[in-house]
């Protein structure tokens, strides 16, 4: 089987060039085609001689992704289904907002974590995405943003399918190619990793000095309640999470964003607001309250307007920095937690 060239380093490409009689600088040309120009075919690398293109074709492949299906919501949100080289499917979403053009991308095929409210959690995790597959989603969604809205992407959020911190190596490498001079040179300040809370990996982000935004899917701030909706809590207690977030903040000095879906009659009472408030006291943070997006076959509902208002009032009176995220693209199952490879 041919090797995927985007899995190897510039030095390894250089070695191949030298060993097969090509000039060394050809490796830099190829590298730049791959990561700067997002080229996915050796035949399109027009400054390479035909014989050099042939040499690369003989030894390597480029496992790119392609857009398989596109659906547009009445609110302008565009959901794409991407076909991977081994016929797996993942989804990504373009979300146009007033001042933002956000790409929401996937990190795994399916998810192993089974949060009870999430559509992706119902699909088993098949495999991790490679860094190039993550990068490709950004490129394809970015092309849509230009074509459809004449606006470049401003933000990237890892809020599609999968748990990014369980595919850490590839996610970090993808971020490198999205943000560095070697790649697309996007701003890391505009990238958000959303995690269900793997404390060990939150510490690793801090140790590695990864300067992206961190969003923690909290959804309940009492141990028992959180474990009942997010099984990952069993092995990552709130105390451990809190300590890892403190550690993260001490190193990275960036506010944490807590995500909190308001689930009707489950986590939307004043007791819950109090737990949330207490949890947020430990590290500088803001809270995004998220409207629940309905998922077929799941028995959860959005909180009532009255309860949401009381919840917000409780937190605001205590000075919490709160944002509210309404559903986007819900009519085409493109909203957070609805991605499940079906249309
Ligand atoms: N696995 C990571 C990132 C992908 S999920 C995580 O859990 O953080 C992205 C966000 O969508 C998370 O905050 C998740 O809790 C939220 N989400 C899942 N299902 C949802 C639903 N049905 N409605 C609203 N948000 C949902
Ligand atoms: Fe996985 Fe995130 Fe969905 Fe939980 S919310 S099942 S961690 S994708």
Q: What is the CATH number of the domain that holds 12?
A: 1.10.150.530
Q: First CA to last CA across the chain, in angstroms?
A: 34
Both 80 and 133 in a single domain?
yes
Both 134 and 266 in a single domain?
yes
Q: Is the CB of 115 under 6 A from ligand 2?
A: yes
Q: Which two tokens stand for residue 218?
A: 């909290």
- Looking at the structure of the chain, the number of domains it has is 2
* Residue nearest to ligand 1 atom 9, measured at CA: 159
Q: Provide Rg for the chain, Cα atoms.
A: 21
Q: Is the CB of 233 under 6 A from ligand 2?
A: no
Ligand nearest to C-alpha 112:
2
Strand partners, 273: none
Both 24 and 167 in a single domain?
no
With the C-alpha atoms ordered 316, 334, 150, 178, is the resulting torsion angle positive or negative?
positive
Task: Give the Å distance between the CA of 335 and the centre of ligand 1.
Answer: 9
Q: Is the CB of 216 under 6 A from ligand 2?
A: no
Q: Enumerate the H helices of the chain as residue ranges.
A: 10-19, 25-35, 50-59, 131-149, 168-179, 199-208, 223-229, 238-252, 270-280, 305-317
* Residue nearest to ligand 2 atom 4, measured at CA: 115
Q: Is the CB of 163 under 6 A from ligand 1?
A: yes
Q: Which two tokens stand for residue 239?
A: 């105390």
Specify the ligand 2 atom closest to the Cα of 111.
1
339 within some domain: no
Specify the ligand 1 atom closest to the Cα of 219.
15
293 within some domain: yes
Both 22 and 87 in a single domain?
no
96: closest CA among 149, 47, 141?
149
pLDDT for the residue 134: 98
Query: How far apart are the C-alpha atoms of 245 and 270, rounded to whole Å?
Result: 24
Both 157 and 304 in a single domain?
yes
List the chain pLDDT tens, one digit each, 343 residues.
899 999 999 999 999 999 999 999 999 999 999 999 999 999 999 999 999 999 999 999 999 999 999 999 999 999 999 999 999 999 999 999 989 999 999 999 999 999 999 999 888 899 999 999 999 999 999 999 999 999 999 999 999 999 999 999 999 999 999 999 999 999 999 999 999 999 999 999 999 999 999 999 999 999 999 999 999 999 999 999 999 999 999 999 999 999 999 999 999 999 999 999 999 999 999 999 999 999 999 999 999 999 999 999 999 999 999 998 877 787 888 777 777 776 5
Both 224 and 79 in a single domain?
yes
201 within some domain: yes
Both 56 and 127 in a single domain?
no
Query: How far apart are the C-alpha atoms of 303 and 63, rounded to whole Å?
Result: 43
Both 262 and 314 in a single domain?
yes
Task: Give the Å distance between the CA of 87 and the centre of ligand 1.
Answer: 25
Both 35 and 133 in a single domain?
no
Task: Give the Å distance between the CA of 158 and the centre of ligand 1.
Answer: 10
Both 143 and 291 in a single domain?
yes
- Residue 211 is given by DSSP the state -
337 within some domain: no
pTM above threshold 0.85: yes
- State which of 45, 61, 77 marks the end of a domain: 61
341 within some domain: no
The enclosing domain of 131 has a CATH number of 3.20.20.70
pLDDT for the residue 343: 53
Domain coverage including residue 253? 66-332
Task: Give the Å distance between the CA of 15 and the centre of ligand 1.
Answer: 43
Q: What is each CA distance from 76 to 43, 101, 233, in whole angstroms?
A: 35, 11, 35
342 within some domain: no
Both 39 and 115 in a single domain?
no
- State which of 11, 39, 61 marks the end of a domain: 61
Residue 151: other Cβ atoms inside 10 A: 11
132 within some domain: yes
- State which of 34, 61, 88 marks the end of a domain: 61
338 within some domain: no
Ligand nearest to C-alpha 215:
1
Both 129 and 29 in a single domain?
no
């Amino acid at each position: 089987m041919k090797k995927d060239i985007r899995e190897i380093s510039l030095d390894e490409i250089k070695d191949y060039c030298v060993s097969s009689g090509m000039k060394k600088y050809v490796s830099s040309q190829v590298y730049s085609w791959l990561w700067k120009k997002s080229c996915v075919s050796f035949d399109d690398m027009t400054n390479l001689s035909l014989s050099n293109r042939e040499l690369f074709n003989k030894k390597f492949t480029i496992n790119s992704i392609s857009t398989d299906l596109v659906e547009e919501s009445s609110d302008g949100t565009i959901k794409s289904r991407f076909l991977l080289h081994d016929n797996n499917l993942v989804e990504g979403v373009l979300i146009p907002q007033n001042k933002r053009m956000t790409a929401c991308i996937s990190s795994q095929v399916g998810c192993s974590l089974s949060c009870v409210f999430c559509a992706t959690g119902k699909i088993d995790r098949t495999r991790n995405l490679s860094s190039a597959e993550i990068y490709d989603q950004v490129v394809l969604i970015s092309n849509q943003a230009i074509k459809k809205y004449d606006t470049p992407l401003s933000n990237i959020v890892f809020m599609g399918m999968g748990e990014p911190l369980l595919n850490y190596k590839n996610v970090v490498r993808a971020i490198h190619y999205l943000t560095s001079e070697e790649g697309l040179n996007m701003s890391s300040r505009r990238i958000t990793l959303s995690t269900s809370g793997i404390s060990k990996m939150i510490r690793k982000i801090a140790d590695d000095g990864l300067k992206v935004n961190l969003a923690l899917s909290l959804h309940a701030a009492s141990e028992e309640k959180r474990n009942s909706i997010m099984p990952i809590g069993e092995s990552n207690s709130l105390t451990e999470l809190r300590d890892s977030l403190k550690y993260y903040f001490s190193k990275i000095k960036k506010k944490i964003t807590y995500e909190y879906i308001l689930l009707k009659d489950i986590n939307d009472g004043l007791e819950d607001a109090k737990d949330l408030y207490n949890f947020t006291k430990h590290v500088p943070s803001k809270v995004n309250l998220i409207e629940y997006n309905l998922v077929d076959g799941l028995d959860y509902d959005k909180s009532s307007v009255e309860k949401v208002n009381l919840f917000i009032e409780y937190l605001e009176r205590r000075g919490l920095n709160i944002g509210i995220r309404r559903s986007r693209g819900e009519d085409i199952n493109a909203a957070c937690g609805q991605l499940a490879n079906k249309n």
